[in-house]
């Protein structure tokens, strides 16, 4: 074979190699830029469950990037020097698909970071807490995504069904507390298995989802609902999702005890069951499944005037604020969504106050929209700032070292909630603060 022939055969290989190296370089530059932008914007703290990648194990196969459902919308993972890295920590919302896709076990999923801890109840792989017979699934255990919560609720019920004493005697097999995604799925699973159960809900069907603003897009993935089958929903509004669940509730004749709040959970005298007291009834049960949200009690500002009726802790309908001066307090997705949705209402004047200099816990699309509205003067953005006092027709806010008095008709505080630690500790459940651990 002469030199010309070798060259002709080698040329395509060389061109392919050059193209591959150029593509790899471009991807790496994009990953580096995304990481630098996150650092510059102080968006380095993941809001929930997130991956930690062992560079010594990573083989650079990109399987984690391909598996991440959020990757196409904004950078979450990237390849730098041939290794996968979490380049957009604030964009990670805890799907966990990256860990499942990694062929060499280089990824662990953890809560919290070295800088910011996250309180998580102590839960075993089978969803049982340190108190035998009491289980936790869904948002309270750190799984806020709808698809994950539904799956956890179903799996937790399957584990409860394995307990000794289930299906025997006159007591309830399980009391399910909460009717959010996890509680709803668990209730259907209990019905499918023919268990004796009751579902207690202090508010309405949907849990945290029911409290989202009107029209909010709910991102989820196909999930299996017992009795119903696979729920093939990938992106929908809060209203459509709740309508679907209400249809399931009606078609299956699922009974949920609404407007009933659990007050105490104690071991029965014989130590084999639990006595559950609510605002309406008493239940004796073999097991308890807690599927309540993490918000618990809304976090208050602790300022003078916060007890006024014009101060609320979630947005229900933006239209009610037409023609009003509205102050939104907070820097998470709920605060940003409240601010820009009210700004879309005719005649409203919106001020957004946040104590930090960057929106470190909000999705990029919400940050971008609020910043656009601020540039267009549709939202007055005060960062960092602090509310000092709330008056009948105004608010006092400290901003850039000065105290400002702003006209005000309504205040919406979106500062998250306080984990119901007191309630959990009374039951005997151990709370762990995770600093970058599983």
Q: DSSP states of 41-63 as a string? A: TT--S-SSSEEEE-TTT-----H
Kindly report the CATH number that applies to the domain delimited by 3-110.
3.30.70.20
- The residues facing 285 across adjacent strands are 172, 274
**Model pLDDT for residues 383-402, shown as the tens digit of each residue:** 999 999 999 999 999 998 89
288 neighbors 175 (Cβ within 8 angstroms): yes
Encoding tokens for residue 391? 């008056």
**Domain ranges within the chain, ordered by starting residue:** 3-110, 119-296+419-434, 298-417
Q: What is the pLDDT of residues 204-254, one digit of tens each?
A: 887 777 666 666 666 556 778 898 888 776 667 778 888 888 999 999 999
Answer for the pair 400, 316: CB distance below 8 angstroms, yes or no.
Answer: no
Q: Do domains 3-110 and 119-296+419-434 have the same CATH topology?
A: no
Helices (H), ranges, 215-271: 238-252
CA separation for the pair 367, 359 (Å, rounded): 7
Choose between 3 and 345: higher pLDDT.
345
Query: Coil, strand, or helix at residue 22?
Result: helix
- Architecture in CATH of 298-417: 3-Layer(bba) Sandwich (3.50)
Instruction: Report pTM.
Output: 0.67
- Contact (CB, 8 A) for 180 and 293: yes
Per-residue pLDDT tens digits for 340-395? 999 999 999 999 999 988 886 777 788 889 999 999 999 999 999 999 999 999 99
What is the pLDDT of the chain when averaged over all its residues? 85
Tell me the C-alpha distance between 15 and 1, whole Å: 21
Residue range 61-90: mean pLDDT, rounded? 86
Q: Which CATH class is domain 119-296+419-434?
A: alpha beta
Q: Residue 365 has which token pair?
A: 């699309």
Task: Count CB-CB contacts under 10 A for residue 33.
Answer: 13
Rounded Cα–Cα distance for residues 43 and 41 (Å): 5
């Amino acid at each position: 074979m002469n030199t010309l022939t070798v060259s002709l055969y080698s040329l395509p290989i060389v061109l392919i190699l050059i193209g591959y190296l150029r593509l790899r370089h471009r991807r790496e530059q994009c990953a580096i830029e995304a990481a630098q932008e996150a650092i510059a914007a102080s968006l380095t703290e993941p809001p929930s469950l997130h991956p930690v990648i062992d560079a010594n194990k990573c083989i650079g196969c990109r399987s984690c990037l391909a598996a991440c459902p959020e990757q196409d919308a904004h950078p979450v993972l990237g390849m730098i020097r041939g290794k996968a890295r979490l380049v957009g920590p604030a964009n990670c919302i805890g799907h966990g698909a990256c860990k499942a896709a990694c062929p060499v076990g280089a990824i662990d999923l953890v809560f919290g970071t070295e800088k910011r801890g996250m309180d998580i109840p102590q839960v075993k792989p089978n969803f049982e807490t340190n108190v035998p017979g009491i289980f936790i699934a869904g948002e309270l255990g750190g799984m806020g995504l709808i698809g994950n919560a539904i799956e956890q609720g179903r799996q937790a019920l399957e584990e409860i069904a394995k307990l000794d004493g289930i299906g025997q005697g006159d007591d309830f097999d399980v009391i399910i507390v909460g009717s959010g995604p996890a509680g709803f799925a668990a209730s259907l699973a209990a019905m499918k298995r023919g268990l004796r159960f009751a579902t207690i809900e202090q508010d309405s069907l949907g849990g945290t989802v029911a409290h989202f603003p009107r029209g909010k897009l709910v991102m989820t993935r196909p999930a299996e609902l017992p009795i119903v089958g696979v729920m093939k929903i990938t992106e929908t509004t809060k209203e459509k999702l709740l309508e679907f669940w209400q249809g399931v509730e009606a078609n299956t004749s699922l009974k949920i005890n609404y407007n009933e709040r659990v007050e105490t959970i104690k071991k029965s005298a014989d130590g084999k069951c639990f006595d559950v007291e609510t605002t309406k009834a008493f239940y004796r049960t073999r097991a308890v499944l807690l599927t309540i949200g993490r918000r618990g009690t809304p976090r208050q500002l602790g300022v003078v005037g916060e007890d006024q009726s014009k101060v609320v802790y979630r947005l229900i309908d933006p239209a009610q604020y037409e023609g009003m001066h509205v102050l939104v307090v907070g820097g998470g997705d709920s605060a940003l969504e409240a601010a820009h949705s009210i700004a879309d209402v005719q005649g409203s004047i919106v001020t957004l106050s946040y104590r930090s200099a960057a929106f470190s816990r909000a999705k990029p699309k919400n940050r971008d929209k609020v910043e656009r509205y601020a540039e267009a003067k549709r939202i007055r953005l005060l960062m960092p700032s602090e509310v000092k006092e709330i008056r009948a027709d105004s608010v006092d806010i400290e901003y850039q070292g000065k105290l400002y008095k702003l006209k005000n008709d309504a205040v919406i505080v979106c500062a998250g909630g306080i984990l119901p630690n007191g309630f959990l500790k009374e039951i005997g459940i151990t709370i762990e603060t995770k600093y970058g651990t599983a």
